[in-house]
Every structure is written in structure tokens, then in C-alpha cells.
Amino acid sequence: MPNLQANTGGIISPNPFWLASAPPTNSGPQIMRAFDAGWGGAVWKTLGVPIQNVSSRFGGLNVGTKRAVGFNNIELITDRPLESNFKEIYEVKKRYPKHAVIVSLMVETEQEWKEIIKRSIDAGADGLELNFGCPHGMCERGMGSAVGQEPKVNERITSWAVHYSTVPVLVKLTPNVSDIRPHGLAAKRGGAHGVSLINTIKSIIGVDIDRFIPEPRVAGLSTNGGYCGAAVKPIALHMCASLARERDFGIPISGIGGVSNWRDAVEFILLGSSSVQVCTEVMLRGYRVVEDMIEGLTEYMTTHGFETIDQMVGKAVPQYSEWGDLDMNYETVAKIDADKCIGCHLCLVACDDGAHQCIHPGENVMKNGMAVNVPKIDESECVGCNLCQIVCPVEGCIDMVAVANGHKPATWNQHVSEGAKLRHKKGSH
Amino acid sequence: MDIPSDRSEVVFQDFKAAFTPAQAVTEANRCLFCADAPCVQACPTEIEIPQFIRKIATGNLKGSARTIFDSNILGMSCARVCPVEVLCAGACVYNHRGEEPIAIGKLQRYATDEAFAKGWRFFTAGKATGKSVGLVGAGPASLAAAHELRRRGHAVTIYDKRKVVGGLNTTGVAPYKMKSDRSLDEVRYVLGIGGIEVKTGVEVTDFVALQKQHDAIFIGVGLGADSKLGIPGEDRTHGAVEMIEKLKLGRVAFDKTKPAVVVGGGNTALDAVRELKGLGIDNVTLVYRGQEPSMSGYQHEWAAAKLENVRAQWQTQPVAYEGGVLKCVKLDAAKKAIAGSDFAVPAELVLVAIGQAKLAVPGLKVEKGCIVADENGATSVRGVFTGGDCMNGGKEVVNAAAEGKRAAIAIDKFLGGK
Ligand SMILES: Cc1cc2nc3c(=O)[nH]c(=O)nc-3n(C[C@H](O)[C@H](O)[C@H](O)COP(=O)(O)OP(=O)(O)OC[C@H]3O[C@@H](n4cnc5c(N)ncnc54)[C@H](O)[C@@H]3O)c2cc1C
Ligand SMILES: Cc1cc2nc3c(=O)[nH]c(=O)nc-3n(C[C@H](O)[C@H](O)[C@H](O)COP(=O)(O)O)c2cc1C
Ligand code: SF4
């Protein structure tokens, strides 16, 4: 049995699955139910000067019959009195001493940071998370992403927090920047023990086209909100990996953004996360999703021979490289498995209109008493772009197969600097 | 436990075909992952259906099978034989949207078949308690009870009067749902927890006396022989359950060109007509004393039988079997014979499927032939528990599994467990 215990900058949790700071971590009773369901840690809903929220405040992006593959919110930090929150943090820690309770914080002045940090630690926090990420409402007040977008301010506030804290400090970064690295490095310079990323992405989730009002609608107006959920995972993975492979960075990452199942979690861990945080999937389906996450991760670790989470963290990072270091002479072509093909020709139209016009009608094969036309691929023209494989509705029907073209590996950088020979350009006539 | 490979039942194909991996994943992704799900509430063993389906969708098949077996160790056979149309799938919220309910049975089969194929085992015997439990009957009720008792560390001995184990799951369920060899696979899977002694060919007659050899007793003897019509010529008819056992465990031979009749309107009768059809008999008629909408057999089963061209005589009562015809009278709405309505149904083969007798259980309180027990299966005699058909009067495999497990938990308490 692999050991699922996770260590994120000194914050220890029985497994790497944490609830992200958000409505699922709004109160003690909720977090206790979540720990009972199996969550290893929880980042408390951001504390600060309690705010007042609007209604409505969420929006969902539906794709076909799938509801809310992307999610957006215009909610702010906690609206509950600080006393209630601290009392409940104390109760949770008393009843669940082995689980990680991280308190998310967002205030303005050094004095305020000092006070709220002391109260959080007195209540039993195992760690702090500085919310430099919220992209709406709070930044207009000089907090949240207004801090996360300004490395100097980030570093200064981080150093205050680290100074006043006796427990590990994570800095939660905003993705609303063009390059995440200066912001992660600023947190590191400030003395942070790790970073959490990503917070939500500035967005407008949709427009009510009959009322001419963006969504979510608050009376007759709307505002931009924070985008999250399954759809944001690729953005989050990139930011996680960017920091993980940054030589000067080197502090732990708690990965967030679109984690919906154990596979997503494995991806974040392989790209450098020591723990993962989940918000939207829990908001949509409940704490119970963690059961499959734990089982799936355990099984994955067992089949791949990982005994601890540490052995997995960052395993895929070395394989994340610059474009210029990719082997230009590596060549693949698409192959269609005629036994599996159902004759939809989605690959054909995709290649015709969206790629290199090298899939053509092929031979008819009898299936279930009907003639199924299996397209054929002109391999001399196929550029190996994957588009056909991506649109194919049948798992394993189109395979991208490596071609032995006799060329030695050569990268673009080698080509430019040393004149390394590149293979003939395909499909460029 | 050996059964021949040329059994008559082997000609049957699965009525509900197994899912391919792609089909299973597609169907699993349709599931809404309901909370307080009505499907779970409709399952007597309360399997966490949305969880096991979600795990199929995420590729966590092992976890999926674990979820199923944790609630119901007979989940593999239940996936095939449960009347899901009136249980889990019948309760699926998609029904309220006018859409096909989730194919829960087929998904459950997908996950549990995979577990059997890969040899995944999830449970180990508990720490030995030094207590011993005797279980009478090796049907679903006793098997579920035995497995739960082993998880709790009690020594377990099962007695069955038959040579084959598995009860009606092996000898009774329709071969287009599950064949007997698959039921035996399941028995082996259940026994895989270790420490379950099975004594076949042992008929227990004195249940209370068995207490001398064990610290507690579980009675899961099911029902008895087919009931009789009490008409002249009946000796040349066959009990349906008896005939089904023959075709499942050995070979039966019929003249396929000659007409056959099945008397009854319950699920055994509906199985029997489809089994005769499947064995090649052209002309099969169901003779039932009630009306079509009020038959006790499931409407979805009857709909399937009709698709196979089974005929029916409703409100019909056999009065004698002679000279290759079943002599009958028509009944009125009050089930009284209508004078002058005599007619004959040609029948070279007559199967009687009008219920099964209750078995005698001396020393125990019974009511209408069923053993009287509380909600945990405790009978009128201290230390003697029961579950399954002999207690509930004849329900489904899944009821027997649920009752067997529940009784095992009560037995564990009785023996001092927590
Ligand atoms: C023809 C038929 C088809 C069915 N089809 C389905 C179906 O498709 N789906 C479904 O869910 N249910 C079906 N059922 C019902 C289901 O089979 C039963 O509800 C279930 O098997 C009951 O389990 P049990 O353990 O209580 O009893 P049984 O399965 O009847 O097992 C009882 C066991 O006890 C043994 N025994 C009896 N007396 C003694 C004794 N004195 N000493 C030792 N051993 C003894 C018997 O040999 C037998 O093995 C069907 C039933 C019949 C008759
Ligand atoms: C309704 C809502 C409220 C949120 N509130 C906070 C918050 O108070 N503090 C914070 O740091 N992040 C907050 N977040 C961001 C989440 O913690 C998380 O970073 C983000 O949703 C991405 O993860 P996900 O894709 O799993 O949802 C909130 C997100 C949502 C949807
Ligand atoms: S989810 Fe609950 S709080 Fe939100 S709108 Fe619906 S009922 Fe109200």
C-alpha cells in the first residue's frame, strides 16, 4: 500500500487532497463533514474584514449536455464574523488534529496582517495561505490580485506574514498575469514556504442575449468574475509546471484549478504539486468525490511503483521543455484501425477543413449488415498534427504512429546554432 | 460441484449483452451522480450506485468493484438477475425526464466481471473470535451471511442438501440471465475469503439440534417443491422449478414440434415459457387464471416473452390433463368458473408454475409457512436466525443477499461483537 501522506512546505496532511478556499470551506461543520468524507486538508474560506456579497453570484459554462464544465463567480471573501471563524477553526483542529487546516487571509495593513495571523495561529492553523489572487471586488480595494500582480508588493506582504507567523506560509497566486514566474519568485524572496496556484481567471461567463446583460445578473447589471472548474486545468497545469521547472524557484506548490478526479490530481503532482486543491468539483457534486480521488491515486501509485507522494512530485517536469529543444525530426502519422472505425468521417472533414487535406474516403467494410466507409490516410501528406485523433469518437481507433525516417534527432536550436539537418517539410506545398 | 459442459442451458445467449469498455464509459458518463439517490434507496443492499458508476467513468474500475462488493458480495449475480426495471433503474431520475434510465445492472456487471477476471479481492477474514456459526442452505442468503460473518472473524460451516451450491442462483435463474457455471464462479469468489466450510449432500432436519454444534444458526433453506394443481393427470405434468433445475444442470429433451403449456402467471412461469421457446419449442402457451394486467410476474418480463411469440390464455383454469390436451374452463372476474366455457389447449408438455411449497422448519414459529423473524432475522428461538425466501416467502436474490448480511450483523452482535 503506498503512503499518501503529503508535505507541502511543512504542512502535513494524511493525503494530498485539500479543499480550496471557497464556499466548501466556509464553516467548521462543513469542513468536519469533508474530513469525514476523506479530505486530507482544507484551506479555510479567506478571512479578512467580513464583506457583503451580491446575488446572484455564480455562472456556469455548459457544453452540449455537460453542465458547468467551466464556472465563474463574483463572490468575495468570508462574510462571517471573524470570531465565529476562529472558534470553528479551533473546534475543527481539536477534533481532527491530523488533518491540515490552512487559514486563508486577506487584509491590508501590516498591523492587520500581524493581528489576523496571530489569531489564526492561536486558533490552531497548521499553515497560512495569503490570498493574493481574487480577481474581482477585492482588487479594487487594493487587495487580492492587485497584490498578486505586483511582485514588489507581493514580496513585502509575504515577508510581513512570514515574520509574524510561526507556521508555514503559502502564497496563493493569481493567474491574471502574463508570466507567473516573477510572482512565484517574489513570494519566494518574501520567505514563503510554498505557493498555491491558481486562483480564478478574470472572465465573463456569458451574456443574457434577451436582456442584453452579461451573466451572472445582479438586478440590471453584471461584472467580470473569476473563472474556474474543469475547463481551466490546462492553464493551471502550465503555471504549475512553469514554476516547478524554474531553477531559482524550488519551493513547494499546492496545485489548484480544474481538479475533478484522480487523474487530474496525478497530472498536477507529476508537474510539481505536492498537494492539490479542489473547489468547483466539490461545489458541483459534493465532498463525496474524494473517495474516487483517493482510490484512483492509490491504484495509480501501486501500478507505477510509487511508495510515497514525494517520489511522484515533479516526475513529468524534466520532460516539459522549450519548443526550440523539441526533436524536429521526430515524425508521426495517423493510422486508422479499420476494425474500430464506425464511418463517421469526422476525421476526414477535420483534416480537409482544419488541417492538411490528407484523409480521403476509403474502402467499404461491412459492419452490422451495413457498408461502413473507412477513410484512408495519405501518409505521405500527413503532418502528424493529431487533429483526426482528437475528433475521433472511438477510443483507440486512430493512433499516431512514429515513422522511422532515418533522420537523426535535431532540434530547432541545434539547427540554428549548429546547422543540424532537418527532415523534409511535409505538407508545405 | 462439477456440472457437465453440455447442459441444455448452454444454448441461451445473454438477454442483456455485456457492455464493451467504450459502451460502459459512455453510459457511466450519463449518470448524474445524484445525491440521496433514489436508485440506492431502491436497492435492498443499498449499493452506492452513483459512486460505483462515477468510478467507471474515471477509470477506477477496481474502486468501482470494491464499492459494489462492500455492500453486496453477490453483486456479480445481482447485476445479471436483478429485476432492475422495478428496482434501481426503475427509480432512476431519468425516468422523470422521459429518458432511458441508466443501465445500472449492465454497469454493475461490467465492474464485477472485471473484478472476477482480474481476481481482485477486497476483503479479508476478521480476527478469529472462537465462535462458530452453522448455516443451513448454500443459497444467496447463506452465502451473503457467511461472507459477512467471516469479515467479522467467526468460523462458518454451510450445509446444503444438494450436491451443487449457490441455491436457486445455480439451479433456478433463467439461463439468458445467468448460467449455472457463472453462479459457481461467484460461490468460489465468496468462499475466497477463506475459512468457510461447505458440506454438501447434508440435509439438516433438526435446526434447533444443530445449535449443539454451533454458537448460532442461520437458516437459509429457501422454498420447497413446486405446488400442485390437484387435477386428474397431474402425474404426467412437471413442476416448473424442477424442470428448470434439470435444464440448467443437465440435459432435457423435448419434441420441439409439439405444443407446450406453462400454467401460472408469476415470474417462474414467465421464465419457463421463454426457456421452452429458447430450447426450440414452437408453440408455447401460458395458461393463467387471472387477467393480463394483474399477473404477478413482471410486465417487462411478459413483454419480452410476447416478443418471442409466446401465446396466452387468460382467466383460464386447468381441470384435467389427458390425451395430449389440457382441459380448461374460463373464469370470470371473481375467478369463478363460467358454466359451459370448457375448452382444450393442446399440450404434449405441461409445466406447472403456480408457486413453491414452504419447507417444514420444526421447532420454529411460522406464519403462512414463512419463518417468523424480527427485522434482523432473529427467529422465535434464541440464537437461530434466518433470511431469504424461507423468511420473506419468495422474493429476489438481492433480498436474500440483503437479509443474509443483515442477519450476519445481528448474529455478530449476539455473539458479543460490536
Ligand atoms: C425459477 C426461478 C427463477 C428465479 N429467477 C430470479 C431472477 O431472475 N432474479 C432474482 O433476483 N431472483 C430470482 N428468483 C428468486 C431467487 O432465486 C430467490 O429469491 C433466491 O435464490 C433465494 O435465496 P435463498 O438463499 O433464500 O434460497 P435458495 O436460493 O432457494 O437456496 C436454498 C438452499 O437451501 C438448500 N436446502 C433447503 N433445505 C435444506 C435442508 N433442510 N438442509 C440443507 N440444505 C437445504 C437448498 O438445496 C438450496 O441450495 C428465481 C426463483 C425461481 C424459483
Ligand atoms: C465561489 C467561489 C469562491 C471562491 N472564494 C475564494 C476565496 O475566498 N479565497 C480564495 O483564495 N479563493 C477563492 N476561490 C478560488 C478557489 O479557491 C480556486 O482557486 C479556484 O476556484 C480554482 O479551483 P477549481 O477549478 O477547483 O474551482 C473561490 C472560487 C469560487 C468558485
Ligand atoms: S444553491 Fe442554495 S443558496 Fe444557492 S440559490 Fe440554490 S437554494 Fe439558494
Q: Looking at the DSSP assignment, which residues form a beta bridge with residue A19?
A: A42, A278
A7 lines ligand 2 (CB under 6 A): no
Range A263-269 contact pairs with CB under 8 angstroms and sequence separation of 24 or more? A263/A296, A263/B58, A263/B59, A264/A233, A265/A16, A265/A17, A265/A293, A265/A296, A265/A297, A266/A296, A266/A297, A266/A300, A266/A312, A267/A233, A267/A237, A267/A316, A268/A236, A268/A237, A268/A240, A269/A16, A269/A309, A269/A312, A269/A313, A269/A315
Residue A217 belongs to domain with CATH number: 3.20.20.70
Give the list of residues 6+ apart from residue A141 with CB closer than 8 angstroms, or none: A108
CA distance A47 to A134: 13
Average pLDDT, chain A: 96
Cell of B118: 482480474
A136 lies in which domain range? Answer: 6-317
Considering only CA atoms, which of B307, B135, B66 is closest in space to residue A296? B66
Out of A282, A302, A317, a domain closes at A317
Residue among A291, A297, A394 with most chain B CBs within 10 A, to mutate: A291
Sorted by where each begins, the domain ranges of chain B are 8-118, 132-224+358-414, 234-352
Residue B1 has pLDDT above 70, yes or no: no
Nearest by Cα to A162 from A198, A186, A183, A134: A186
**Domain annotation covers residue A84:** yes
Q: Do A76 and A198 share a domain, yes or no?
A: yes
Rounded to whole angstroms, the Cα distance separating B391 from B375 reads: 11
User: Is residue A238 assigned to a domain?
Assistant: yes
Question: Is B58 in Cβ contact with A296 (below 8 Å)?
Answer: yes
> Which residues, 6+ apart, have CB-to-CB distance to A321 below 8 Å?
none
Residue A420 forms part of a structural domain: no
Q: What is the pTM of this model?
A: 0.95
**How far from the centroid of its chain's Cα atoms is residue B263's Cα?**
20
State how far Cα B369 lies from the chain centre.
19
Q: Residue A90 has which C-alpha cell? A: 479551533
Contact state of B25 with A395 under an 8 Å Cβ cutoff:
yes
| Other beta carbons within 10 Å of B397 | 29
Is a pLDDT exceeding 90 seen at residue B142?
yes
Tell which CATH architecture fits domain B8-118.
Orthogonal Bundle (1.10)
Residue B244 has pLDDT above 70, yes or no: yes
Q: Is residue A29 part of a domain?
A: yes
Collapsed DSSP state (helix, strand, coil) of residue A408 = coil
Query: For residues B176 and B279, what is the distance between their CA atoms, to the nearest angstrom?
Result: 11
DSSP string, A3-71: B--EEETTEEESSSEEE-SSGGGSSHHHHHHHHHHT--EEEEEEESS-----SS-EEEEEETTEEEEEE
Calpha distance B37→B84 (Å, rounded): 15
The CATH architecture to which B234-352 belongs is 3-Layer(bba) Sandwich (3.50)
- Cα(A75) to ligand 3 centroid in Å equals 14
Cα-based torsion angle of the residue sequence B280, B283, B288, B291 in order, rounded to the nearest 10 degrees: 110
Q: What are phi and psi of A69, to 5 degrees?
A: -70, -20
Determine how β-strand A194-197 pairs with β-strand A201-203.
unpaired
Q: Name the band, by pLDDT with cuts 50, 70 and 90, for residue A68.
A: very high
DSSP state of A367: E
pLDDT in tens, A5-64: 999 999 999 999 999 999 999 999 999 999 999 999 999 999 999 999 999 999 999 999
Q: Is residue A330 part of a domain?
A: yes
Which ligand has its closest atom nearest to the C-alpha of A43? 2
Task: Specify the pLDDT at position A142.
Answer: 73
Q: What is the pLDDT of residues B222-233, one digit of tens each?
A: 999 999 999 999
The closest ligand to the CA of A53 turns out to be 2
pLDDT at A140: 72
Average pLDDT over chain B reads 97
* Cα–Cα distance measured from residue B201 to residue A356, given in angstroms and rounded to the nearest whole number: 73
Residue A419 maps to a domain: no
Report the complex ipTM: 0.93
> What amino acid positions of A are annotated as catalytic residues?
134
In sequence order, the β-bridge partners of residue A127 are: A102
Ramachandran quadrant class, A200 (left: phi over 0; alpha: psi -120 to 50; beta: rest): beta
Please, which residues have CB within 8 angstroms of residue B383's CB and are 6 or more apart in sequence?
Answer: B211, B215, B216, B217, B414
Residue of chain B whose Cα is closest to the Cα of A281: B33
Assess contact for B404 and B143: CB atoms under 8 A: yes
Going by C-alpha positions, the residue among B245, B351, B254, B226 that lies closest to residue B7 is B245
pLDDT value of position A277: 98
B162 pLDDT exceeds 70? yes
Give Cα separations from A279 to A24, B36, B165, B199 (angstroms): 7, 21, 50, 55
C-alpha A371/C-alpha A82 separation (Å) is 69
Note the pLDDT tens digit of each residue in B343-361.
Answer: 999 999 999 999 999 999 9
CA angle, B346 as apex, B343 and B349 as ends, to 5°? 130
Of A261, A263, A286, the CB nearest to B35: A286
The 10 Å CB-count burial string (b at 16+, else e) for A171-180 is bbbbbbbeeb
Ligand 2 pocket mutation pick from A199, A233, A260, A282 by most atoms within 8 angstroms of CB: A199
Strands A225-228 and A201-203: antiparallel
Give mean pLDDT, residues B381-406. 98
Q: How far apart are the first and last CA of chain A?
A: 56
Cα(B337)–Cα(B32) distance, integer angstroms: 52
CATH number for the domain harbouring residue A375: 3.30.70.20
> Which protein residue's CA is at the shortest distance from atom 26 of ligand 1?
B388
Q: pLDDT value at position B208?
A: 83
Binned at pLDDT 50, 70 and 90, residue A428 comes out as confident
> Dihedrals φ, ψ of A82, to 5°?
-60, -40
Which one-letter amino acid corresponds to residue A141? R
One domain for residues A258 and A383: no
Q: For helices A290-303 and B61-71, what crossing angle results, to 10°?
A: 120
Q: Do A299 and B63 touch (CB under 8 A)?
A: yes
**CA separation for the pair B167, B249 (Å, rounded):** 12
Grid cell locating B202 = 447434508
Smallest CA-to-CA distance from A356 within A388, A383, A392, A390 is with A383
Cα–Cα distance measured from residue B19 to residue B390, given in angstroms and rounded to the nearest whole number: 35
Buried b (16+ CB within 10 A) or exposed e, B201-221: eeebeebeebbeebbbbbbbb
Instruction: Report CB contact under 8 Å: B54, A296.
Output: no
Residue A356 has pLDDT above 80, yes or no: yes
Q: Quick one: A206 and A257 in the same domain?
A: yes
CA-wise closest residue to B245 among B270, B259, B225: B225
**pLDDT tens string B30-51:** 999 999 999 999 999 999 999 9
Distance CA(A220)–CA(A214), nearest Å, equals: 9
Q: Are residues A252 and A387 in the same domain?
A: no
For B173-192, the pLDDT digits (tens) are 999 999 999 999 999 999 99
CB A45 less than 6 A from any atom of ligand 2: yes
B8-118 and B234-352: identical CATH topology: no
What residues have CB less than 8 Å from A276, skipping those under 6 apart?
A16, A17, A18, A254, A255, A256, A259, A264, A265, A268, A269
Residue among A200, A202, A278, A290 to mutate when testing ligand 2 (max atoms within 8 A of CB): A200
How many structural domains are present in chain A?
2
pLDDT at position B417 is 81
Q: What number of C-beta contacts closer than 8 Å exist between A and B?
A: 35
How far apart, in Å, do the first and last CA atoms of chain B sit? Answer: 36
CA distances from B134 to B155, B186, B192, B209 (A): 9, 20, 18, 11
Same domain as A143, residue A82 = yes
A299, A394, A395 ranked by CB distance to B60: nearest: A299
Q: Determine the atom of ligand 2 nearest the C-alpha atom of A232.
A: 25
Q: Domain boundary at A301, A317, A333, which?
A: A317
> For residue A60, is it within any domain?
yes
pLDDT band at B292 (very low <50, low <70, confident <90, very high): very high
- The answer to whether residue A81 sits within a structural domain is yes
CATH number for the segment(s) B132-224+358-414: 3.50.50.60
